[in-house]
Chain A
Amino acid sequence: MSWLLVLPIAIPFATAVFAYLARASAAGRWISLGGSVASLLASSALMVGVLREGVIAAQMSSWDAPFGITLVSDYLSAVMVVITAITGLATAIYAFGEISERLEKLGYHALFQTLIAGVTGAFLTGDLFNLYVWFEVMLIASFGLLVLGGSRAQLDAGIRYVALNLVSTIVFLAGIGLLYGVTGTLNMADLSEAVAQAENQNLITVIAILFMIGFGVKAAVFPLFFWLPASYHTPSFAVSAVFAGLLTKVGVYALMRMFTLVFVGDVAFTHEILIWVSALTMVTGVLGAAAQTDFRKILSFHIISQIGYMVLGLALYTPLALMGGVFYLVHHIIVKANLFLVSGVAKKLTGSTDLNRIGGLYKSSPFLAALFIIPAFSLAGFPPLSGFWAKYLIVKAALEIDAWFIAFVALVVGLLTIFSMTKIWGMAFWKPHPDGIDPEPARISPAVYWPMMIPIIGLAIMTVVIGLMPEPFVQFAEIAAMQLLEPDAYVTTVLGVRP
């Protein structure tokens, strides 16, 4: 049983080692691809195990919880691990077309696989300090990927990214220290009981706010999001797709985990803050996007506004809302990574990501245009795509508890999202290219074009499938939400049944 939990982390690490040793030849990218396929198989096995058992846990090194490091997976963790592997595989294929030999020689594939290992580890760990370690693994790997190639803009972005994320990890670490001081444990399942029994509940609330800030920076919520649009538009497109899809979601996942399992003593206070944070995040993100004219910068600001919806799902704290939050998380990773991948192809064909300097894609590459429409309209929440169901669940949950204002905000932000997407559509696809270039696919070699298109096609199909057959996914999200709201199974699986 423990192997199900270990393999999704161990495979990317092993792949990183081999890919690094083979970086001088073309074998590196094949190793990376093979490792990604193996990761996907391992995470699917984990998913099967979780579907059968509900929650599974394993103690590393045979040290029992709460003393050793616990790996644990419930429905939410399992689906996040699977979606991480899918994104990893998509970008590993994409890298065949996009990543230059120069970047490969510098160790691109090793850093990429290390990042995937870090993200997976963060989703699977059941120990707070271990979560901090995975955050550091992610930070080191993502910093490497961000500055790889070493252009001036990349270094500038890299420094901002690391400086602000270090502040967040320090706040997080301070929170961990205080929490350990109060409860004497860092195992999340154990904390769930220890925090409820702690004498000084006011101090616990203060610690909860520290965690909220630490994870909030990672998740890029208002007013802590400024590092994201400053850095996501500079690295290669494969890298920015993984960042956009996965990194902020680790922050959201950590918020969801901690604020359902541990910090539930003062829901009226903490989750009320989260509601306002999510509303402001949605609005500022979407307004920020409206002011941009760069393909990737628009998409970056939209990550922020979408994060608002997921946090809202957590903040409303009803079964329906959490269910919507989980559904949103999964849908968003697929859609957002895909949009960044599309922007990479657009750049290859037209020569830029500045919307004022490109155009003509609709006429010359109708296939790409069709593939852009799917994730873009899903992001905005058009039926019958996956985003519609995600938004529907969240808004319905808000209306159910008479939170009219927040439901109104969510709907308006959806409208404004359409505005941004039509802006990209109008400027990059409909208007003719200002330099008179005809951006047809024949401009780049098929060996570059198809590896970049295949993952886009695959992710677009997934968006449509989730949209047309939401039933099994909604049911899955429902059980995930139930597990989050009633963490008894989680706690007993980790700690064992005690007298």
Chain B
Amino acid sequence: MNSIIFTAAARLLVALLLVFSVFMLLRGHNLPGGGFIGGLLGAVGFIVYSLACGPKEAKAALRCSPEALAMVGLGIALAAGLVSVFFGDPFFTGQWYWVGGDSYETAAFSVNSVLVFDIGVYLVVLGGILSLTFAFEEET
């Protein structure tokens, strides 16, 4: 596919999609969104890029192998689940540390294991989908 319009538009679209995917990831806990949907959007970004500029360029833009991304993501998600051990809670129980308050309403922001888990999921989905699509694009 060698359409100059598509190539030019792709650069804009890819940037938008990637930013939007991170936005979706971060708003996930209290509003629709989260790691899974964010990862899918991010993957769509890279797929559009590889359609416009070729899979080689897209792989270079990703900077590491998608399989490694997925595996590291799995490790992060698992580690986020294990954090609760140190607080004596069952596996995967979210751990929250509030800054400037003691609940969602009053605190300025929070540090929590739920977001870490979502980031892990994001990477697993992004890496998983991309390793599949890159494999298929090599075939054709």
Contact = CB atoms under 8 A, between A and B. Distances in A.
Interface in B49-86: 67-68, 71-72, 74-75, 78, 81-82, 85
The 4 closest A-B CB pairs, nearest first, are A17-B75, A20-B71, A61-B92, A6-B91
Nearest to B79: A14
A60 B92 CA distance: 6
B67 A107 contact: yes
A58 B90 contact: yes
Interface in A1-58: 2-3, 6, 10, 13-14, 16-17, 20-21, 58
A328 to B, nearest CB: 33
A20 to B, nearest CB: 4
Given A2-B91, A58-B91, A61-B93, A21 B71 contact: yes
A125 interface: no
B70 to A, nearest CB: 9
12 contacts: A2-B90, A13-B74, A13-B78, A16-B71, A16-B74, A17-B75, A21-B72, A58-B90, A58-B91, A60-B90, A61-B93, A62-B93
A58 B89 CA distance: 11
Interface of B: 67-68, 71-72, 74-75, 78, 81-82, 85, 89-94
A244 interface: no
A61 B80 CA distance: 12
Interface of A: 2-3, 6, 10, 13-14, 16-17, 20-21, 58-62, 107, 110
Contact of B89 (A10, A20, A21, A62): A62
A20 B78 contact: no
Contacts of B93: 61-62
Contacts of A59: 90
Contacts of B85: 3
A20 B91 contact: no
Contacts of B82: 10
Given A2-B90, A17-B78, A62-B90, 20 more contacts: A2-B91, A10-B82, A10-B91, A13-B74, A13-B78, A14-B75, A14-B78, A17-B72, A20-B67, A20-B68, A20-B71, A21-B71, A58-B90, A59-B90, A60-B90, A60-B91, A61-B92, A61-B94, A62-B93, A107-B67
Given A60-B90, A62-B89, A10 B81 contact: yes
Nearest to A21: B71
Contact of B90 (A14, A16, A61, A110): A61
A96 B8 CA distance: 51
Contacts of B74: 13, 16-17
A323 B92 CA distance: 35
Contacts of B75: 14, 17
A164 B120 CA distance: 31
A114 B93 CA distance: 23
Contacts of A13: 74, 78
Among the interface residues B89, B90, B92, which one has the most CB atoms of the partner chain A within 10 A?
Answer: B90
Contacts of A2: 90-91
